[in-house]
Structure 1
Amino acid sequence: MRTIMRLMGESSTSGSTSTGDSSTVHMNYPLLSALLAFAIAQSIKVFTTWYKEKRWDLKQFLGSGGMPSSHSATVTALAVAVGFQDGVGGTTFATALILACVVMYDATGVRLQAGRQAELLNQIVYELPAEHPLAESRPLRELLGHTPPQVAAGGLLGFVTAGIVHLISHAATRD
């Protein structure tokens, strides 16, 4: 873990201080938490696809949509980690929290509806006669947004990830 902490940066340019001893290696808790939450969420998608469809689909690691929401996990981990690092009274936390809310709302609203529209458009194109100019159109991506449970699962994953990274990082700075 110490190696990871050294790789993440030895000084802070934001002017904020991390929890723990200021003479130890500074850890960018928010960045590490967000990236780790994203990687875990995307990895889980590969396994949930295998569980449901009994096939490995490594494209899920880079795709959007599905369980859990990696967008929600990422922005929640970021906001929670900023709260741990800088406290919840500052503008940095407020910014991260508002960003998280907007991203999660967008995932369940706009992007989910766009995915449902893509599904309907693909069905319409599929039913067109072969001689129609649009019959050979490439299908639109349908898995764009998230259901509320997918967003909630991503948010929970982000919260837990940020908490664990904070505890590990805090313990490592005491050594």
Structure 2
Amino acid sequence: MYYFFVPFVAWIVAGGIKYLINRYHFGENANMYIGNGGFPSNHTTVVTTTAWYIGLKEGFNSAEFGLGVALVMIVIFDATGLRRYVGEHARTINKLSSDSKAYLRERIGHTKSEVVGGLVLGILLGSLMYQFL
């Protein structure tokens, strides 16, 4: 049951931290920044927490941990590559568009520091949950 609980807790914690950071930076407009993009990367935190927890529970030489590392790599490549480029394209389209109803979300991908924040948070959360579960 823990393997279902761990990613959910990671998602809640990362999302909460991201909201607090956005609240500090954007005040009442923080709700507009809920979702993809920002610090820390929720996706990276969730998969890193889960993979790290599996490594601690099952062993860092286990097939499950290896699969977790592969998933972490895919999420990181996607966040810093494809999703980041989609956000850049959205920014350009928004500048070119005269239709304000067709606004595209620009914060989709992540910078490297946002992903590193997700990695560090994921390792910390995985370690904490291993100690207490």
Give the count of matched residue pairs: 133
Structure 1 residues 106 and 89: CA distance shift in structure 2, 3 A: same
1:43 matched to 2:16: yes
Residue type of the alignment partner of 1:92 = E
- 1:159 corresponds in structure 2 to 123
Aligned-residue offset at 1:60: 4.4
Which contiguous aligned blocks of 4+ residues in structure 1 show a shift greater than 6 angstroms?
A: none
With normalisation by structure 1, the TM-score equals 0.71
Tell me which of 7, 14, 26 is aligned to 1:53: 26
Structure 1: distance between partners of 2:9 and 2:32? 18
Percent identical among aligned pairs is 28
In angstroms, what is the RMSD of aligned CA positions? 1.6
Structure in which a larger fraction of residues adopt helix = 2
Determine helix, strand or coil for the equivalent of 2:102.
coil
Structure 1: distance between partners of 2:95 and 2:125? 39
* The structure with more radius of gyration: 1
Cα deviations across residues 85-124 of structure 1 (Å, max 9, x unaligned)? 1111121111111001110111011100110110001101
Structure 2: distance between partners of 1:114 and 1:68? 19
Aligned-residue offset at 1:33: 2.4
With normalisation by structure 2, the TM-score equals 0.92
Residue type of the alignment partner of 1:145 = G
- 1:96 corresponds in structure 2 to 68
Residue type of the alignment partner of 1:34 = P
Tell me which of 116, 122, 127 is aligned to 2:94: 122
Determine helix, strand or coil for the equivalent of 1:55.
helix
Structure 1 residues 47 and 36: CA distance shift in structure 2, 3 A: same
- 2:106 corresponds in structure 1 to 142
Structure 2: distance between partners of 1:140 and 1:54? 22
Aligned-residue offset at 1:54: 2.0
Residue type of the alignment partner of 2:117 = A
Residue type of the alignment partner of 1:97 = V
Cα deviations across residues 145-174 of structure 1 (Å, max 9, x unaligned)? 0000000001111110010011112xxxxx
Alignment gaps of 5+ in structure 2 = none
